């Protein structure tokens, strides 16, 4: 099996990465930075986002495993002290036989950003946000090529089901099970009065729908794709829809989504 490890860079994560390499060498696992079958993320959810974007061009051909050393490891199945057990499960030795990973796939968000200076395509694991730099954002929101609303406020957050537990949750959005292929639109401090109106509630769009966001004034904007920031001052539009691609996670033991939610927010 070909593997790669990406760690958060703190002392504990680096130590665990070194331990993983040592155990992997003893089991004849092959370290491969170019075309791994399994990518091990050691850290927090931010580390998993970094790992995802590092190997984004290879996501149809690999799976991710998270080892938690951060404050909130929503994507992580394993604790730091369980590293030897994870290696056993990956190699199918000892009491772990004949465990094989169950591949679980989560939906992703596809973005087409159109600027006066050119167009780019992106994929998000958690969310895409659009915010104003200098003041109130003025954008037109279309759903399936029909104008839905003229939004004024701080911005919008469009999230995947797995990302629904992140920034979207703090905006009052719903938590969505990853088996539901959808994207969620949540407002960030919208303006609602006698003159300006927005829906004021999160919206959930199914896979076969799309959303277009049009800039309706000269404005400096900050676009964020997961942890990556893109300053833009010439935005024309952004098309958002559920991607045909999915991220794969290798599950060597059960860890249901609602158990993750409970452990992350209630325990």
Q: Would you say the C-alpha torsion 140, 141, 145, 146 has a positive or negative sign?
A: negative
Residue in 7, 10, 32, 45 annotated catalytic: 45
Q: Is 45 an active-site residue? A: yes
Find out whether 168 is annotated in a ligand binding site. Answer: yes
Rounded to an integer, what distance in angstroms lies between the CA atom of residue 29 and that of residue 38?
11
Structure token pair of residue 57? 């061009």
Are 13 and 75 spatial neighbours (Cβ–Cβ below 8 Å)? no
Q: Is residue 50 part of an annotated ligand binding site?
A: yes
Question: Is residue 77 part of an annotated ligand binding site?
Answer: no
**DSSP classification of residue 53:** H
Residue 127 assigned as binding residue: yes
253 assigned binding-site residue: no
Query: Is 46 one of the annotated binding-site residues?
Result: yes
Distance CA 166, CA 168 (A): 5
129 is in an annotated binding site: no
User: Does 126 appear as a known binding residue?
Assistant: yes
Q: Do 130 and 152 meet the contact criterion of CB atoms below 8 Å apart?
A: no
Contact 233, 265 (CB under 8 A): no
45 labelled binding-site residue: yes
Please report where in the chains the tokens 């003893």 appear, as a residue.
26
If 0-12 CB within 10 Å is exposed, 13-18 middle and 19+ buried, where does residue 115 land?
middle
Handedness of CA 46, 47, 48, 51 (dihedral sign): positive
- The C-alpha atoms of residue 15 and residue 35 are separated, in whole angstroms, by 24
Please give the structure tokens belonging to residue 50. Answer: 């970094």
Task: State the burial class of residue 70 (Cβ atoms within 10 Å of its Cβ: 0-12, 13-18, 19+).
Answer: buried
Burial class (CB in 10 A: 0-12, 13-18, 19+), 195: exposed
192 labeled binding residue: no
Active site residues: 45
Binding region for NAD(+): 45-46, 50, 126-127, 152, 154, 165-170, 189, 228
Binding region: 45-46, 50, 126-127, 152, 154, 165-170, 189, 228
């Amino acid at each position: 099996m070909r593997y790669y490890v990406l760690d958060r860079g703190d002392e504990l994560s680096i130590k665990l990465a070194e331990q993983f390499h040592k155990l992997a060498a003893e089991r004849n696992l092959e370290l491969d930075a170019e075309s791994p079958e399994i990518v091990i993320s050691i850290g927090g959810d931010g580390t998993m986002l970094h790992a995802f974007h590092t190997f984004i061009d290879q996501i149809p051909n690999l799976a991710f495993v998270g080892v938690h050393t951060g404050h909130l490891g929503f994507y992580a199945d394993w604790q730091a002290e369980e590293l030897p057990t994870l290696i056993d499960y990956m190699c199918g030795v000892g009491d772990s036989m004949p465990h094989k990973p169950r591949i679980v796939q989560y939906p992703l968000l596809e973005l087409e950003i159109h600027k006066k200076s050119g167009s780019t395509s992106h994929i998000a694991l958690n969310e895409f946000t659009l915010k104003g730099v200098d003041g109130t954002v003025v954008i037109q929101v279309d759903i399936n090529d029909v104008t839905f609303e003229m939004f004024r406020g701080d911005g919008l957050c469009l999230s995947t089901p797995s990302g629904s537990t992140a920034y979207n949750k703090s905006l009052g959005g719903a938590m969505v099970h990853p088996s539901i292929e959808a994207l969620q639109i949540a407002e960030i401090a919208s303006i609602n009065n006698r003159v300006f109106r927005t829906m004021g509630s999160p919206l959930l769009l199914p896979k076969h729908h799309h959303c277009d966001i049009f800039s309706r004034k000269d404005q400096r904007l900050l676009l964020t794709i997961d942890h990556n920031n893109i300053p833009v001052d010439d935005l024309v539009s952004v098309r958002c829809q559920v991607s045909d691609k999915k991220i794969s996670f290798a599950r060597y033991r059960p860890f249901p989504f609602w158990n993750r939610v409970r452990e992350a927010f209630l325990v």
